Amino acid sequence: MGLDGREIIVAGGGIGGLAAALALRQRGAEVRVLEQAGAITEVGAGIQVSPNGLRVIEALGLGEALRARACRGRAVRLRDYRDGAEVTRLDLDRLPASQGYYFVHRADLIALLADAAREAGVTIRLLQKVAGVRPGPKPELSL
């Protein structure tokens, strides 16, 4: 689907907003991301990228870049909280290479998405808190 020249505003520059902004830009839209915070950043630790998430990252053209920053999971082991005994083990090594299960630091994933979005021509504006959206043929946005 082509979106040539369509103006699209994405409220929020998290993982979801940035991925959506890049995907829309890659289809020709003029995209602006409005982020309430003063920086595009992510606190916290790692995030698991499951095969469906990887499909999206691949479709955005960022598969190789993600793999360079991530480590591939070999297994997920569920344990009994009382004694640590293994309840079940998900053998991720059996997934084909194209469907890997990856672990990446959130800050690295967000930087990857933000850099790619900016490079593609997405405008990211900081300190912009969206207060409301009035839907309609010409939607109105209030800050």
Alpha-carbon gap, residue 21 to 33, rounded angstroms: 7
Q: Is 65 in the site for ligand FAD (CB under 6 A)?
A: no
Q: Is 14 in the site for ligand FAD (CB under 6 A)?
A: yes
**Cβ neighbours of residue 97 under 8 Å, at least 6 residues apart?**
none
Footprint on residues 18-57 left by ligand FAD (CB under 6 A): 34-37, 47-48, 53
Contact with ligand FAD (CB under 6 A): which of 13, 57, 70, 112? 13
Q: Is 12 in the site for ligand FAD (CB under 6 A)?
A: yes
Please say whether the beta carbons of 49 and 57 come within 8 A.
yes
Q: Is 130 in the site for ligand FAD (CB under 6 A)?
A: yes
Which residues of the shown chain bind ligand FAD in the complex (CB under 6 A)? 11-17, 34-37, 47-48, 53, 129-130
